[in-house]
A = this chain, B = another copy of it.
Amino acid sequence: MPLDPARVVSRLEELRSLTGSDDGAQRVAWTETWATARAWLAQTLSDLPLVVERDQAGNDWYTLRGDSERAVLLGGHMDSVPNGGWLDGCLNVLAAAEVLRRIAEEGTPPVTVRLVDWADEEGARFGRSLFGSSAAGGSMSDQDELRSLVDRDGVSLPDAIGAFDVDLDHALEARSQLENAAAYLELHIEQGPVLESLELPLGAVLGTFGVERWRITWTGQAAHAGSTPMDQRRDALAGAAKLALAIRDIARETGDGAVCTSGGVVCRPGIVTSVVETAEQLLDQRHLDAGKLASMLARAQELSHGFAEEERIDVDWERIWNIQPILFDETLIGFADEAIRDVAGGSHRLPSGPLHDAAEVARAGVPTVMLFVQSLRGLSHTKLEDTKPEHLELSVAALDGLASKTIAHVAAP
């Protein structure tokens, strides 16, 4: 049976009816609803000659044995955030399932082909995203912190994952799943505005941004708004304001997709009658090039010290988190471009702002690429998340073309 992209759209609608509420997707990892979604997925694939297994990190694998043990992986995640969208993560899985079905129905492929449903990509309950893929990829090292996490209802992480037979102390054994992995492919909605602004349905993803995420605390002096002359103030908000504006220039000057964001400033005492004494500012900087990311950070810090001096205030930088850029495989990016042009006429290469399971697989050394399909209004993590049905169908076709090229490449002597 040939590929049936429309079936993927029907399956997504079926999944939404089965597990969604009026407020959106509720397939939160480690819950009953998620288990239901996974069981439903298994049932849709039950007619195919697949070996089905769950690894020690809770990832579900559907394996179609090929002539070779070398494997091409197609992945996604059935889990969602609460009140999420109908596509994020499950489009990836259901499109991959359709591709797997098409391949299986053609007989034994030259290489092994595997579908993986990663466990807890979103980290919605415990704040720890990319759980299953970081274990399989081997980067997971925070088991001790994870052991003590508790969700908002008081359920501990070990108990929650234990109900699915996952144990923190054995999760890394999932690494064996990637032993024969020769390539990893993942389709995802863009969750951003670029493809829509270019009026393109599909794009090939270059990699995931490196991120520098910092908390900047400006400290001045609280003072009465009425009785303190302007030249006697040490206003912490002035420092935060200057930096909030300067980071746009830093991104612009750095170019190549650089982004810098100040997500907020918290002012204290924060009352209308006082000069701001402390301003706690959030900063998020991203780039695909590690050197440029480092220079963006250095520039922001340098400018901040100048602002602190001008305003006679103090500034303190505290790193919240960072991750290096993870570039995808050049050959696979080329295949992705071709596959997209084959079905859509035009293609575009772009970076991924958000992190994905694909990043964990790439950093484990497996050649990786992602495809993006256009998101309407860039919305995600909301029931308003959407993509045109014709674009969803094109994305399934593109994933299929990408899979074919990749399989042929991996199979070649």
Contacts and interface: CB of A to CB of B under 8 A. Distances in A.
A242 to B, nearest CB: 7
Contacts of A238: 244-245, 248
Interface stretch (A145-153, A172-180, A186-194): A186-194
Nearest to A244: B241
Interface residues of A, number: 58
Contacts of A269: 263-264
Nearest to A249: B230
Contacts of A315: none
B267 A273 contact: no
Given A228-B353, A261-B273, 10 more contacts: A193-B232, A224-B354, A226-B354, A227-B354, A237-B264, A238-B244, A238-B245, A263-B269, A266-B270, A273-B284
Nearest to A225: B261
B248 A286 contact: no
Contacts of A248: 230, 238
Nearest to A242: B245
Contacts of A223: 193, 378
A333 B91 CA distance: 78
A252 interface: yes
B272 A191 contact: no
Interface string A42-61: 00000000000000000000
A225 B286 contact: yes
A257 B284 contact: no
Contacts of A320: 272
Interface string A241-261: 110110010011000011111
A240 interface: yes
A271 interface: yes
Contact of A267 (B257, B263, B274, B380): B263
A14 B259 CA distance: 62
A275 interface: yes
Nearest to A258: B230
Contacts of A276: 262-264
A211 interface: yes
Contact of A262 (B190, B209, B230, B237): B237
A10 to B, nearest CB: 28
B252 A244 contact: no
Query: For A227, A259, A320, which residue has the most chain B Cβ atoms within 10 angstroms?
Result: A227
A226 B242 contact: no
B230 A251 contact: yes
Interface string A64-87: 000000000000000000000000
Contacts of A191: 224, 227
Contacts of A252: 230
Nearest to A197: B232
A267 B265 contact: yes
Interface string A212-241: 010000000001111111101000011011
Given A241-B244, A282-B272, A229 B257 contact: yes
24 contacts: A191-B227, A192-B227, A192-B228, A193-B227, A211-B226, A225-B259, A225-B284, A226-B354, A227-B378, A228-B378, A230-B248, A230-B251, A238-B245, A238-B248, A241-B245, A242-B245, A263-B267, A263-B271, A263-B276, A264-B268, A265-B267, A266-B267, A272-B283, A272-B320
